[in-house]
Structures are given as C-alpha cells and as structure tokens.
Amino acid sequence: MEKKAIRVAYGEALVKLGETNEKVVVLDADLASATMTNAFKKAYPGRFYDCGIAEANMVDMAAGMSTMGLIPFCSTFAVFAGRSYDQIRNGVCYPKFNVKFGFSHAGITLGEDGGSHQAIEDLALMCVLPNMTVFVPSDANECYACVEAAAKIDGPVYIRTSRLATPVYDPRPFTFGKGTVIKDGKDCVIFTCGIMLEHSLNAVEVLAEKGIDAALVSFHTLKPFDEQLACEYAVKCKKVFTVEEHSVIGGLGDTVAPLIVGKGVEAFRKIGINDVFGQSGKPADLLLEYGLTGPQIADKIISSL
C-alpha cells in the first residue's frame, strides 16, 4: 500500500488550491521545508510569506490579511500552537476572522525531536475555542478534502497533520462534520481519528481473530463533532473505545464521553497518551512504548470487555 505523510498532502493541497483561488496566501514560521509549504512558495512566491521564528506575529499578520478578503493559511509545528495561542484566541477566533491553521508534526510520531516538540495537547487547545473548526485527517486523501473544505468555511479552521508517512486509503466520501464508518460490527466500537486509523484497523483484525466483531468509526472532524453517529454506535455496540495520538485529556475521548452518558453504555475507555509527555525515539518504538500499536489496542479492549 502506498504511504505518504499527511503533511506532504497538505503542501500538495495548498498548491492545487492556489491554482483556482487567488485569494489563498500561505504564511510559515521558518519551517516551510518541514510543513511542506515550500511547494506553494515555489509555485506562488508572491503569495508566500516567511515570517521567521515568530509564530505570534505570523498569526496577527494572517488576521490582518483576512480582513482584506484574503484566505491565509498559517503553518508551523503543532506544538507551537501554544506559543501563538493568545493571538489565535483573541486575534482570530474572538472576531471570527477567516484564518486557517495547518499545523504539522503533531503527536509522538514526530519521533526523535522528543517531548518538547511532540504536541499531545493541541486538539484540546483548539477544540475549546469558540468559532474554531477542527480537522484531523487520517490519510493524504482525507487531507486534500480537509484543505478544500477549510477554504470554503468562513471562519477559523485548524488542520492537524503528521510527519510520519502513513497508508493512503482509497478515497472515501467526505462530508464536513460527519464521521465515516470504516467497518460495521456488533460487539464493541472503536472511535478514532488521524493516523491512529491504521493501528485501529490492525486492532480490529486482531479482535476478529479472537471472535470479537468490532465496529470502527473514523472522525476527520472533531469540531463540529458527529454526535448523531457516535451516539448511534454507542447505543448499538454498548462498549465504546476511543483511540487517538493525543492526550486522553481534552481530545477525541473527552469529546465522546459526555455524549454517551445515559445511553446504556456498559464499557468505555480512552486509549491515548496517558497524561505524560513524549520522549525521543523512533516513531514505531514510541507507539509501542505508549501502547498504541494494533495488538496493544486490542489487548486493552479485551481487558475491558
């Protein structure tokens, strides 16, 4: 199966978007070769702005550009969402300006850069902001769709992308704000997002070998969230598990939890980063260390059934 980093797809999507929409401009904080906005820089140098290592300034520049009718896409590492948070909150979300954030290298699979650069809290920061839309594409094809949708949304949008090359799945129907049923099942349901789709699929296979028929639902949009679909599968399967490459605090798990209270759910468990920082290592080793490989996910589900 073809593999491609979601950050690469993000860069490709910006170039394609720039071809058809002259209002699109791209800003980067001295990381264009990592966030992959360098492709847009090469194609449209007059619409690309390298803001240097000054993320807060970048966000304020983009806010100003948006008031002139432009559609700015800001890019940097996801961990620097914290460095520019005041500007994102008060300079973009509060006035509901039309600024997009394509923040890369999220989660522990950033790898060797270690805990200081592995964003495990960015979804919590972004989901709590009024007016913010939050996308977590699971592969390159979904990223293309998220970027296209972001440009059409009138208001702030956050797109979480990853460094690690991951499987590219056949294109699936994409509807803003709606989850995608990857596999139906009856014994339990796994809700996932982002690159954890690959490992959740593996977990479903391991569970099947043990006679457990697990459903799998992927959510490319965390906000607004597909509450109807989540509740439908919670009621149907009664045993609910969330899997994410993010802290178990404030991410997908905490989005799902309040929705399923009183729905007759017999088991619920959040599988993710358990309130600790990441550390330096190869992505595969880190996934193993933090219990996020397919077999480990399956074992956690079995122990909770």
> Does residue 64 register a pLDDT over 90?
yes
Instruction: Give the Cα separation of 298 and 199 in Å (integer).
Output: 10
Task: Quickly state the pLDDT bin for 279 (edges 50, 70, 90).
Answer: very high
Q: pLDDT, tens digit, for every residue of 190-242?
A: 999 999 999 999 999 999 999 999 999 999 999 999 999 999 999 999 999 99
| pLDDT cut 70: percent of the chain above it | 100
pLDDT recorded at residue 104: 97
* pLDDT attached to residue 12: 98
CA distance 292 to 249: 16
Rounded CA separation 299/305 (Å): 10
The answer to whether 194 touches 139, Cβ cutoff 8 Å, is no
Q: Where are the domains of the chain?
A: 3-167, 180-304
Using 50, 70 and 90 to split pLDDT, how confident is the model at 70?
very high
User: Which positions are annotated as active-site residues?
Assistant: 55
This model's pTM is above 0.95: yes
3-state secondary structure the chain: CCEEEHHHHHHHHHHHHHHHCCCEEEEECCCHHHHCCHHHHHHCHHHEEECCCCHHHHHHHHHHHHCCCCEEEEEEEHHHHCCCHHHHHHHHHCCCCCCEEEEECECHHHCCCCCCCCECCHHHHHHCCCCCEEECCCCHHHHHHHHHHHHHCCCCEEEECCCCEEECCCCCCCCCCCCEEEECCCCEEEEECCCHHHHHHHHHHHHHHCCCCEEEEECCEEECCCHHHHHHHHHHHCEEEEEEEEECCCCHHHHHHHHHCCCCCCEEEEEEECCCCCCCCCHHHHHHHCCCCHHHHHHHHHHHC
Tell me how far apart the alpha carbons of residues 92 and 194 are, in angstroms, rounded to a whole number: 25
Q: Do domains 3-167 and 180-304 have the same CATH topology?
A: yes
**Structure-token pair, residue 91:** 């300079």
- Whether residue 1 has pLDDT greater than 90: no
Q: What topology is assigned to 180-304 in CATH?
A: Rossmann fold (3.40.50)
What percent of the chain lies above the pLDDT cut of 90? 99
Q: What is the pLDDT of residues 151-161, one digit of tens each?
A: 999 999 999 99
**Superfamily of domain 3-167, CATH level 4:** Thiamin diphosphate (ThDP)-binding fold, Pyr/PP domains (3.40.50.970)
CA-to-CA separations, 265 to 62, 97, 187, 211, 274, in angstroms, rounded:
44, 39, 12, 21, 22
With cut-offs at 50, 70 and 90, classify the pLDDT of residue 98: very high
Sign of CA dihedral 284, 285, 286, 291: positive
